[in-house]
Amino acid sequence: MKRKICVFTGTRAEYGLLKPLLDEIKNDKQLTLQLLVTGMHLSPEFGNTYKDIERDGFHIDEKVDISLGSDTPAGIAKSMGLGVMNFGEVFARLKPDVVVMLGDRFEALAAAIAAMLARIPIAHLSGGESTEGLIDESIRHSLTKLSYLHFTSMDQYRRRVIQLGEDPKRVFQVGAIALDNIRNLKLLSKQELEKQLNFKFKEHNLLVTFHPVTLENNTSKGQFQDLLAVLDSLKDTHLVFTKANADTDGRIINQMIDAYVAKNPHKASGFTSLGQLRYLSLMKYVDAVVGNSSSGIVEAPSFKIGTVNIGDRQRGRIRAQSVIDCLPTKEGIQKALRKVYSKEFQEQFRKTINPYGDGRSSARIKAILKRAELKDLKKKFYDVRAGV
């Protein structure tokens, strides 16, 4: 009997990372792919990106609306509660052999709770990583403890998962799945991008992706205002903004992006969802990624471009030498951008080696999902000091 692998996705970025693995599972005759889609994918405000999944040729087995009408803490808690209830019913219908989920989103935590209660093993990608400025830090480690199989992007992250008490026999270092698309996709040319996105590249170009720091209170507006002020002072530079996720205070940032682009159509473009192909293609032609997204840490170094990483959102992640960390202030951002365009730094990041892997993670993950023993889900806490 084919092993049924249910893959969970709740955001556009997460789906883009998971797509190579979905292809691997779908094309394997010994496996059955089940696809559970929820969260921002089903929201008109965030682009109804479930349509992108269907356009890519995937059958969506279940769509679960968890009501993302509010980005307040209370609203997100309500969405999680709805998710636990609805995901439980979905797993009862689909009866998967294993549920695959990636990262650290609150939607995934709700699904993991439901899967755990249904005694369905969870395979978690990207555990052991650290984002100290976010509530995602706690969610990620919670997902680790709810999961049975673990696929980490680096040896250091694998050690952290084991440190959390997980058996080393079930923790696999496979590299960052984010790099698989860079290896596999045929990226768009500059002319194709300009046509699809309806703008012209200038002498200098920056990809801006900024999200709330969810463990800070009401800092999003002020930090993003400072960023916009610095970007506005740049000459002959086109700014490509991607909007924030459905995190606490994310709508504030998105409203500010809309207002800035409307006021400056000659120098700025804003997008709710670019999709993985266009997003990665942009990285090929911009000077740097500016903001606080994990893509500036994980994917950007593969293109040998600079990253201006603002504030604490990604504090704790391992970095390539092409990443410049700065304070979320006008002075800090200005200093970092000057460094990006300095001759010395440009020579340095052209020699960058991405520490996150070789872009072959999906095939490794699929092979392990096929052979893994999933019958006995009782987990013994692995004591690192005792080695037992």
DSSP 312-352: TTTTTS---TTEEEE-SSHHHHHHHHHHHTSHHHHHHHTT-
Tell me if 378 is assigned to some domain. no
CA gap 53, 35 in Å, rounded: 10
Is residue 387 one of the residues assigned to a domain? no
- Half-sphere exposure (Cβ direction) of 259: Cα atoms closer than 13 Å: 9
**Same domain membership, residue 218 and residue 341:** yes
Task: Determine the residue type at 352.
Answer: T
Sign of CA dihedral 275, 5, 355, 167: positive
Q: How far apart are CA 13 and CA 330, in angstroms?
A: 28
Q: Give 140-158 pLDDT, tens digit per residue.
A: 999 999 999 999 999 999 9
- Based on the domain organization, do 127 and 49 belong to the same domain? yes
Distance CA 127, CA 266 (A): 42
Residue 377 lies in a domain: no
The pTM for the full model equals 0.83
What is the CATH classification number for the domain harbouring 331? 3.40.50.2000
Query: Which residue segment(s) compose the domain that 165 sits in?
Result: 3-176+357-371
Q: Do 220 and 139 have their domain in common?
A: no
CA distance 73 to 81: 12
Do residue 228 and residue 128 come from a single domain? Answer: no
Do residues 258 and 317 both lie within one domain? Answer: yes
pLDDT given for residue 246 in this prediction: 64
Instruction: Let me know if residue 142 belongs to a domain.
Output: yes
What per-residue confidence (pLDDT) applies to 93?
97
Q: Which residues of the chain have pLDDT under 50?
A: 388
Do 7 and 110 lie in a common domain?
yes
